[in-house]
Structure 1
Amino acid sequence: MSTKSEKQNKENLTPRPPIVVVMGHIDHGKTTLLDYIRKTKVTESETGGITQHVGAYEIEVPASPANRGEKNTKITFLDTPGHEAFSQIRKHGAKIADIAVLVVAADDGVKTQTEESIQAIQKTGIPYIIAINKIDKENAAPDKIKKELSEKGIQIEEWGGKIPCVNISAKTGNGVNELLEMVNLIAELEDLKTDPNANASGYVLESYLDKKRGIAATLIIQNGKLKKGMRIVAKNATAPVRILENFLGEPLKEAGASSPVKITGFNETPESGFKFESFSSKKDAETTKTQIQRHRVLVDKDENDKNKVIIPLLIKADAKGSVDALVQQLKKAETKKVCLKIVRAKAGDITEDDAKLASGSENSIIIGFNVNASSNAKMLAERFEIQIKIFNIIYKAEDWIKEEIEKRTPKEEKEEIIGKAGIIKIFRDEKNKKIIGGEVKIGKITAGKKVKIYRREFLLGGGEILEVRHNKSKTEEVPEGQQFGALLQTKVNLAPKDTLEIYS
C-alpha cells in the first residue's frame, strides 16, 4: 500500500538538518569532539572512555559571522563505537548518515579502524570530511597524517584533491567551528529535503529493554513528522507512540526529520539498522506489517541457502494490486540456483529513498510498473550502479528478469576424480592441518587439489592438499602404486585406512 511518507509532494519539501556520522580509530577523539560540541561530559561516562553504543545527538550551531542575524542551524550527530557497528547498519541497507566526519589523531596516524572507516564511508558514497584531531599535542604531525591519507588514496583539497580536511583540537575547541561550517556547507550542496506533511519514516539506531517501560528504541527520522498517537512499524516490531522523547529524554508532542527520538512499548525488539514507518491508524500499521511478513516468507528459506545467488529486488507499481501481481509473476522466474529477495514492494513512484534502500545490498535491481523514477533516484542509482527498469506490461518485466537470472546463474564446475589414495599413518594432527603417509591406489595425488575423505563408504568431509612428498623430497604429484607423504588442510579427524578422493 502507498503510505503518506512515500508520496512526497515537491511543493511541500523543505530543507532538513544533516545527519552526520563521526568515525575513526579507537581513542582518536570521536566522542571528545562531540563532547566539546555539545558542551557536556559524555566521554567520562563511557566505559574506559570508549563509546559502547551508537549515540545520537541533536545540536544547534550558531550562525557564522558572515551570516549573522540568521537562525541557528541544527546538526544531528551519530557517535559510533567503530567500524563494526557502522557497517552493520549499512548491511541492513540503512543509509542513515548524509555526511561523515573521519577523525584521525595527529599524534597517532592512520590505524586499522581508520582504514576500515574509510572503506565503510567510501562504500556508502556519502561525502566526508577529514578532521585531524589533537593538534594541541607537542608531537602532533598533521602533514604526516595528510601524507598517510594520500598513500591510502585520500586526496585532500589542500593537496589538489576533493576531500575537505580541517585541523582541530577536540580538547581546546581549536578548528571545531571551521569543521561545523564545513558540515553546513556540504549539507547545503547536498540539498537535503523533507516533506513535513508526510508520516515519519527512518531507521532504528538501537533497541534496548527499559526496566520500567518495556522494550524501547532510539529511532532517527529521515523524512516526515512523527506525532504522539501514531503507530510505528519496523519489520515485525510495532509500537504505539504514547511516549515520545528527544535524545535528552525530554517529552515531545511531535518530532521532525533528522531528529533522534526514543519510543517505548514495542511488542518485540526491533532490529538495529532496520527501516521504520509510521501510520496514523492501527489498521494501516497492521496491514503494512502483514505485507512485510508475507514478502519475507517468500525469501527466508532461500536466504539461508548459501549455494544460491540472491538478487535483491525492489518493486514499485501504480497500485497495490499491480504490486502483488508483479511480485507473484517475478517470483515464478526463480530457479534452483537463483532466488529473488524482495527488499520492498509498494505502490508509488520510485523515490530517492528507494534508491538508498537498494544501495544497501550488492547488485540490487529496482523494477517499476506504470510509475516514474525521480531525478534524485536516478542519480543515486547511477552512483551505486543500481539498475532501474520500468515496464508497462507485466510479462515484459517477467521476461527481462528471466534474462537477468540467466546472466547471474553460476556456471557449473564439473568435478573430475583424478586419483584415490589410502591413508597408512597419521604423523601429525594440529588443528586444521594434518601430516599423513599413504599410498596412491588409483591415478595420482597432486598438490593444490581438493579432496573428499571417506571412511569405508561414508563421506566425512573435505579438504585441500597443501604439499606432497615422495622419498622425503617435495614434489608436485605422486603416481599410482607409490607411497607418499602429504600435508592436508582439513577439519576431519583422520584415521588409518581412510580413503582420499582427489579432484581436479
Structure 2
Amino acid sequence: MSDNNDGKKPLGVRGGGAGGRSGNVKQSFSHGRTKNVVVETKRKRVVTPKPGAAKSGGANPKLGDPSKRPAGITDAEMERRLKALQAAKAREAEEQAAREAEEQRRAEERERRRAEIEAKEREEREREEAAKKKAEEEERARLEAEKAEAAAKKAAADAKKAAPKAAPKAAEAPAAPAAGGDDRGPARGAPTKTGIATPRKKEREDDAGRRGKGRDDSRRGGKLTLNQALTGGEGGRQKSLAAMKRKQERLRQKAMGNQEREKIVRDVQLPETIVVSELANRMAERVADVVKELMKMGMMVTQNQTIDADTAELIIEEFGHKVVRVSDADVEDVITQIEDSEEELEGRPPVITIMGHVDHGKTSLLDAIRNANVTAGEAGGITQHIGAYQVTTDSGAVLTFLDTPGHAAFTSMRSRGAQVTDIVVLVVAADDSVMPQTIEAISHAKAAGVPMIVAINKCDKPAADPMKVRTELLQHEVVVEAMSGEVQDIEVSAKTGAGLDSLLEAIALQAEILELKANPGRAAEGAVIEAKLDVGRGPVATVLIQKGTLKRGDIFVVGEQWGKVRALINDKGERVDEAAPSVPVEVLGLNGTPEAGDVLNVVATEAQAREIAEYRENAAKEKRAAAGAATTLEQLMAKAKADQNVSELPILVKADVQGSAEAIVQAMEKIGNDEVRVRVLHSGVGAITESDIGLAEASGAPVFGFNVRANAPARNSANQKGVEIRYYSVIYDLVDDVKAAASGLLSAEIRENFIGYSEIKEVFKVTGIGKVAGCLVTEGVARRSAGVRLLRDNVVIHEGTLKTLKRFKDEVKEVISGQECGMAFENYDDIRPGDVIEIFEREEVERTL
C-alpha cells in the first residue's frame, strides 16, 4: 500500500480511522440561509528523509523534523509553505468572522422588519376594532334611545288608561309599602298570593319582550348600509337639493300670485347665414325650442347646421324678437369718414410727383434738389421703384417729392404717383422732346385732376431745343406760359443746377394757390406708395400720410393685411415716433406684404383690424375665383378649344418690391400672340425660397429674380431638381429674355422657293422602276432633293418627291435649263406627255415676337 501511494496516507473522517482529522464548516447562502457541512482533511504526513539528506548544522525547530518531510523539500520551501498555510488560516478566520457579522446583521434586520410589520398590523387591528366598537356603541345607543322612547309612550298610554279605574280603589286600598318590602306588605311588582302580576311586573315583561324583538330585528337586518343611515332605516329616499329648490320656487311663485315673467324682446343681428345654435344663443332661447320650430316649418335640421337669413328671420319673428340684418361688409363700418371742421385744419406740405419719359433726368433733377446722389445706386441708371423724399428749401418751405419710373412697364406706378399727389412736375428732355411715356404722364396728370409744372431739363446740352418741346406739348393740350397758357414751364439743368431755384419757387407758388390743409389730430389715413419684404425687418410698406397723424403703437389695416406700428422710419433712415400729413415713412409691423396703392386706416382694436383684413381677403378670393371661372359650359369648351392651339411659357417672378413685381407681371401679359403666351404662375416679393423651387419644378418653369437672390436651401433644391434661376437688375433685360424664350415656342415659318420648271415630252416604261418621264428643263434647274408638283392644264395633280433623276444613263443631282433628263415620281405613275413639273425647295424661317 505504501508503494502505491508513495508514502501518502489516505483521507479520513473524524472517528473514521486512527489519526483521521475533520471539521464542520458553516456555508452561507443568499437570503440569510446557512448550512453546516463536514469537511475531510488530509492526515499529517510523516516524511522519512533519505540517508545523508540532512545538512550539517542544527535543524530549525519551527520547520519540524527534517527526517519526516517529503523527499526534495528544502528548509526555504518548507518555510514558504508554512507561511502560506498560516496566511490561509488567518484569511479563513477573517472571512468566518465577516460571515458571522453579516449573518448577525441580516438577522437583526429581519427581526426589525418583522417587528415593524407586526406593529403596523397591530395598529391596523386596533384601529378596526376601535371603529367597530364605536359603530356598535352608536347602534346600541340608537336602539336604547328608540326603546326608551317607545317605553315612555307606552307608559304614558297605560297610565292614561289606568287612571279612571285606580281612582275608586285608591280610597279603599291601604298605603303602599316601602320599596324593598318589609312586614308592612309585599314590594311593588312582587307576586301576590293569587299569582296575578302587578303593573310594574307587567311593564318589565313588556320591556323585555320589546328588547328581544329589537334584538331579533337587528340581528336579521345584518350590517348597517349607507342608504339606511341616510334614510333613518325607514327604506325611503330623501328629496334632492334640486327638488327642494323647485319646491321653494313654486312656493315663491304662489306667494306672488303666479305672475308670469315678462318676455324680453331682443334685437337679433342676422348675417346672411347663421348656425341654429348661434341663432338660439342670440335670441336667448333654448336650442330645442328653435329646432322644434324649424321642424314645424318642415326643415329637419340639427343645432350645428346652417340656415339662410330669410328662414332665420321667420324664426326670430316667431319668438317675438326684432331682426337686425347685417352683412359681412359691415365690418368696414368702423372705418368712418370724418368730415374735418375748418378750425381743426392746419397747413401741410405739398406732395410733388416727378413724372416723364425714361432717361429724361427725373431722378438727377431730384438729386440736384436734395443734394444727394441716388442715380449712382440704381441698376442701369434707370429708376425702377417709387422714391419718396422730403426737402426743405432755403426759404424754409417743406416739400414732399415722389420719384416715379419712366419705363413703359411702370404704368401702374405712375398712375399711383399721380393719384396721391398735389402737383405734377413733368420732366421733358430738351434734346429728346416729347416721348411716349411723356404723353402717358400727361394723361395720368389730367385723369388725377392735379396742376402740372413743366420742367424742360438738359438745357445745358448743345442739341437742346426748349422751344421744340413747348411746341410739341401743344399737340397734347398742354399750353405753357411761354405760349400764352396757364401751365408753368421752367428751363432747368440737373447737371449745372441752373433753374432749380425757379422750379422750387414755381412749386411753392402753386402750393400756396392750392391752400393745402389737413387735420393732424384725427386717426391716420394714408396711401401705400411701395411695399417690400425685408429679410431682417419683415414686411415693410412706404406710406404717404394724407390725413391725421400715424403714431408708434397704432393698430391699422391696409388692404388685406393688418398690423401694429412697431417703428416708423423717415426718408433719411431715422426712427421717428409719429408721422404728420404729407410725410412719407416706412412702416414696420405688418403681418404680410400689402399691395402698392392700398389705403392705410387706423382702427381701435386688433380684433377689428383682423376682422376687416379677413373679410377683404375672402372677398378678393371670391372675386378672383369668379373672374377665372367660365360662366357656361359653352364658354368653358370654347376656352379649352382656344387654349389647345396655344403654347404657354410658364414663369415664376420674385421681385424686391411690390411695384416692380406688378410691373413685370403686366409686361409679361403683353408678350405673346395667338400661338404663344407667357403665363406667370406666381409673383411675389422677397427672396426666392424652396417652395418657389418646388412650384417651378412641378410646372417646368424657370424662376426670374428681380433684384433678389435665392437662399441657400433654394439654391441646393434648384441644383438637385434642375430648375433654372435667372437674376436680373434691369427690367429691359428681363423682358427681352422672356420674349426670346417665348419666340422659341413659335412654329417656324415655311417658305417655298421655286427653282425651276420642266415639260414632259415622252413617257417610257422601265422594268423595275415603272413609268419614267422624258423631260426638258425649260426654266431654272431640276434637283433630285427638291420637292415637285405635277401640273396638268395648270392644275396641281400630285405633290411629292422625285424617285430618280437621270441624265442619259447616269443618276445626277441636278439638271440645268435647256437640257433633257429622265424623272420618276415616288409612288406615283399617272404621268402623261405635255404635263409640266414644278420644282421647288422649302426653307424654315424662325419667327420672333
Matching of residue 62 in structure 1 with residue 394 in structure 2: yes
Match of 1:462 in 2: none
| Per-residue deviation, 1:161 | 1.6
Match of 1:492 in 2: none
Partner of residue 169 from structure 1, selected from 471, 483, 493 = 493
Match of 2:382 in 1: 50
Task: Report the secondary structure of 2:456's partner residue.
Answer: strand
Q: Deviations over 1:425-444 (max 9, x none)?
A: xxxxx869999xxxxxxxxx
Match of 1:228 in 2: 552
Q: Which has the larger radius of gyration?
A: 2
Match of 2:352 in 1: 20
Match of 2:518 in 1: 194
* Correspondences of 1:337-348 after superposition (within 5 Å): none
Does the C-alpha gap of structure 1 residues 193 and 300 become closer, same or farther in structure 2, counting only changes over 3 Å?
Answer: farther
Q: Deviations over 1:170-223 (max 9, x none)?
A: 112211111111112222222222111111111111111211111111111111
Q: Deviations over 1:376-434 (max 9, x none)?
A: xxxxxxxxxxxxxxxxxxxxxxxxxxxxxxxxxxxxxxxxxxxxxxxxxxxxxx86999
Does the C-alpha gap of structure 1 residues 94 and 128 become closer, same or farther in structure 2, counting only changes over 3 Å?
Answer: closer
Equivalent position amino acid for 2:424 in 1: A
* Kept in 2: contact 1:94–1:203 (CA 8 A): no
* Correspondences of 1:41-440 after superposition (within 5 Å): 41-63=373-395, 72-82=396-406, 87-89=411-413, 95-293=419-617, 296=620, 299-304=623-628
Partner of residue 35 from structure 1, selected from 360, 367, 385 = 367
Equivalent position amino acid for 1:110 in 2: V
- Residues in 1 aligned to 2:523 and 2:442: alpha-carbon distance in whole angstroms: 34
Task: Report the secondary structure of 1:182's partner residue.
Answer: helix
Task: Report the secondary structure of 2:349's partner residue.
Answer: coil
- Residues in 1 aligned to 2:400 and 2:619: alpha-carbon distance in whole angstroms: 33
- Residues in 2 aligned to 1:282 and 1:57: alpha-carbon distance in whole angstroms: 31
TM-score computed with the length of structure 2 as normaliser: 0.34
Equivalent position amino acid for 2:510 in 1: I
Equivalent position amino acid for 1:34 in 2: L
* Kept in 1: contact 2:526–2:600 (CA 8 A): yes
Task: Report the secondary structure of 2:576's partner residue.
Answer: coil
Equivalent position amino acid for 2:357 in 1: H
- Residues in 2 aligned to 1:214 and 1:10: alpha-carbon distance in whole angstroms: 40
- Residues in 1 aligned to 2:342 and 2:379: alpha-carbon distance in whole angstroms: 46
- Residues in 1 aligned to 2:561 and 2:347: alpha-carbon distance in whole angstroms: 30
Does the C-alpha gap of structure 1 residues 31 and 249 become closer, same or farther in structure 2, counting only changes over 3 Å?
Answer: same
- Residues in 1 aligned to 2:579 and 2:378: alpha-carbon distance in whole angstroms: 27
Equivalent position amino acid for 1:254 in 2: E
| Per-residue deviation, 1:273 | 1.1
Does the C-alpha gap of structure 1 residues 78 and 231 become closer, same or farther in structure 2, counting only changes over 3 Å?
Answer: same
Bigger fraction of residues in strand: 1
* Kept in 2: contact 1:214–1:264 (CA 8 A): yes
- Residues in 1 aligned to 2:413 and 2:614: alpha-carbon distance in whole angstroms: 24
| Per-residue deviation, 1:78 | 0.8
* Kept in 1: contact 2:353–2:417 (CA 8 A): no
Structure 1, unmatched stretches of 5+, are 64-71, 309-429, 436-470, 473-504
Which deviates further from its counterpart, 183-192 or 97-106? 183-192
* Kept in 2: contact 1:23–1:83 (CA 8 A): no
- Residues in 2 aligned to 1:103 and 1:270: alpha-carbon distance in whole angstroms: 30
After TM superposition, the runs of 4+ consecutive aligned structure 1 residues lying more than 3 A away are 2-7, 83-87, 89-94, 290-308, 430-435
Q: Deviations over 1:28-67 (max 9, x none)?
A: 110011101110111111112211211111111222xxxx
Structure 2, unmatched stretches of 5+, are 1-332, 633-745, 752-793, 796-849
- Residues in 1 aligned to 2:604 and 2:371: alpha-carbon distance in whole angstroms: 37
Equivalent position amino acid for 1:245 in 2: I
Q: Deviations over 1:77-116 (max 9, x none)?
A: 1111126576414767982111111101111211222122
Match of 1:336 in 2: none
Identity, in percent, stands at 41
- Residues in 2 aligned to 1:228 and 1:270: alpha-carbon distance in whole angstroms: 19
Does the C-alpha gap of structure 1 residues 307 and 42 become closer, same or farther in structure 2, counting only changes over 3 Å?
Answer: farther
- Residues in 1 aligned to 2:359 and 2:418: alpha-carbon distance in whole angstroms: 26
- Residues in 1 aligned to 2:406 and 2:384: alpha-carbon distance in whole angstroms: 9
Does the C-alpha gap of structure 1 residues 280 and 133 become closer, same or farther in structure 2, counting only changes over 3 Å?
Answer: same
* Kept in 2: contact 1:92–1:274 (CA 8 A): no
- Residues in 2 aligned to 1:81 and 1:252: alpha-carbon distance in whole angstroms: 28
Q: Deviations over 1:251-310 (max 9, x none)?
A: 0000111111111232111001111112343233234334534654675554557999xx
Does the C-alpha gap of structure 1 residues 143 and 9 become closer, same or farther in structure 2, counting only changes over 3 Å?
Answer: same
Does the C-alpha gap of structure 1 residues 137 and 17 become closer, same or farther in structure 2, counting only changes over 3 Å?
Answer: same
Equivalent position amino acid for 1:107 in 2: D
- What is the count of residue pairs matched by the alignment? 309
| Per-residue deviation, 1:169 | 0.9
| Per-residue deviation, 1:25 | 1.3
Q: Deviations over 1:137-173 (max 9, x none)?
A: 1221111111111233221122122211111111122
* Kept in 1: contact 2:416–2:529 (CA 8 A): no
Which deviates further from its counterpart, 144-153 or 1-10? 1-10
* Kept in 2: contact 1:93–1:273 (CA 8 A): no
Equivalent position amino acid for 2:431 in 1: D
Task: Report the secondary structure of 2:490's partner residue.
Answer: strand
| Per-residue deviation, 1:19 | 1.0
Equivalent position amino acid for 1:114 in 2: T
Equivalent position amino acid for 1:159 in 2: M
Does the C-alpha gap of structure 1 residues 13 and 431 become closer, same or farther in structure 2, counting only changes over 3 Å?
Answer: farther
- Residues in 1 aligned to 2:439 and 2:577: alpha-carbon distance in whole angstroms: 42
* Kept in 2: contact 1:237–1:270 (CA 8 A): yes
Task: Report the secondary structure of 2:595's partner residue.
Answer: coil
Equivalent position amino acid for 1:79 in 2: D
| Per-residue deviation, 1:120 | 2.1
